[in-house]
């Protein structure tokens, strides 16, 4: 039996974060699929506070919350490539921007996905684009010297935090009819996104836009009350 297990679902970018971190460290794990629309007894037992995926189980001990799990993986499996920066300032900066992604990008991405009126759509897309433009500036600072990722020459903590949402960014662009990751406004970020998705640790983990659009369609159908 694997000593590492992950409770999750494929469409979840938060689960994808953990999968990418495990792949970067070359850690074998058992994936425990959590079905959409239901919560297993195991999930409720191991994450009784938030009752959400992902949950990492390591040696029968649960760890919850995606960014916490990524940091845990980095600290436990030190033989693999480092995920968080070793410099305290760089580490704090990466953690700050990762938190901003969850606090600023994620709510607007969710709002945009289900927006009905043009005003709601416009406000959410404008706020999301503003945040992406800021992240373009952060990337330029982090990649001085021509480095390909926020983490330097390889994928790191902030890359994982943002990159896990690239599939949903592309899906929501199609759903809402807006352009979010714009090559003219944020050329460096667009180039970074292409490199991130092409990395071996990411391929096959982050679903593409079409798969997520199908999931979103089923989500809406299941959320509708019966006639």
- C-alpha distances out from residue 94 to 64, 66, 165, 203, Å: 20, 15, 16, 23
Q: What pLDDT does residue 20 have?
A: 98
pLDDT digits (tens, 9 = 90+) for 110-157: 999 888 889 999 999 999 999 999 999 999 998 877 899 999 999 999
Query: Residue 164: what pLDDT?
Result: 98
**Cα dihedral 131, 133, 139, 141 sign:** negative
Kindly list the strands in the beta sheet with 30-33, ordered across the sheet, starting from the edge strand earlier in the chain: 30-33, 4-8, 55-58, 61-64
Asked if residue 1 has pLDDT above 70, the reply is no
Q: What pLDDT does residue 2 have?
A: 61
Please name the helix (run of DSSP H) or strand (run of DSSP E) that holds residue 5, with its range, or none.
Answer: strand 4-8
Q: What is the pLDDT of residues 70-113, one digit of tens each?
A: 999 999 999 889 999 999 999 999 999 999 999 999 999 999 98
Closest by Cα among 90, 51, 84, 54 to 69: 54
Does the pLDDT at position 159 exceed 70?
yes
% of the chain surpassing 90 pLDDT: 85
pLDDT tens digits, residue range 2-29?
699 999 999 999 999 999 999 999 999 9
| Separation between Cα atoms, residue 78 and residue 56, nearest integer Å | 17
| Contact between 46 and 64 (Cβ < 8 Å) | yes
Segment among 137-146, 180-189, 204-213 with least mean pLDDT: 137-146
pLDDT of residue 219: 64
| Residue among 59, 75, 44 at smallest CA distance from 4 | 59
In a 3-state reduction of DSSP, which class is residue 127? helix
Give the C-alpha separation, 161 to 154, whole Å.
Answer: 14
Q: Residues 187-201: pLDDT tens digits?
A: 999 999 999 999 999
pLDDT of res. 227: 35
pLDDT of res. 217: 81
How many Cβ atoms are within 10 Å of 184's Cβ, its own excluded? Answer: 7
């Amino acid at each position: 039996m694997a000593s590492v297990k992950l409770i999750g679902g494929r469409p979840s970018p938060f689960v994808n974060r953990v999968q990418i971190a495990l792949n970067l460290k070359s850690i074998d794990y058992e994936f425990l699929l959590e079905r959409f629309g239901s919560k297993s007894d195991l999930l409720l037992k191991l994450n009784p506070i938030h009752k959400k995926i992902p949950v990492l189980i390591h040696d029968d001990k649960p760890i919850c919350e995606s960014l916490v799990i990524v940091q845990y993986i980095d600290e436990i499996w030190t033989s693999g490539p480092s995920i968080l920066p070793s410099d305290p300032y760089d580490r704090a900066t990466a953690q700050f921007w990762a938190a901003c992604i969850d606090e600023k990008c994620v709510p607007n991405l969710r709002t945009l996905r289900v927006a009905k009126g043009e005003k709601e759509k416009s406000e959410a897309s404008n706020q999301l684009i503003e945040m992406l433009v800021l992240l373009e500036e952060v990337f330029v600072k982090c990649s001085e010297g021509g480095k390909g990722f926020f983490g330097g020459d390889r994928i790191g903590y902030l890359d994982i935090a943002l990159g896990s949402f690239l599939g949903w960014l592309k899906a929501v662009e199609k759903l809402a009819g807006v352009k979010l990751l714009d090559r003219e406004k944020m050329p460096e970020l667009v180039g970074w996104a292409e490199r991130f998705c092409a990395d071996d640790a990411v391929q096959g983990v982050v679903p593409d836009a079409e798969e997520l659009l199908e999931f979103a369609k089923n989500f809406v159908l299941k959320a509708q009350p019966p006639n």
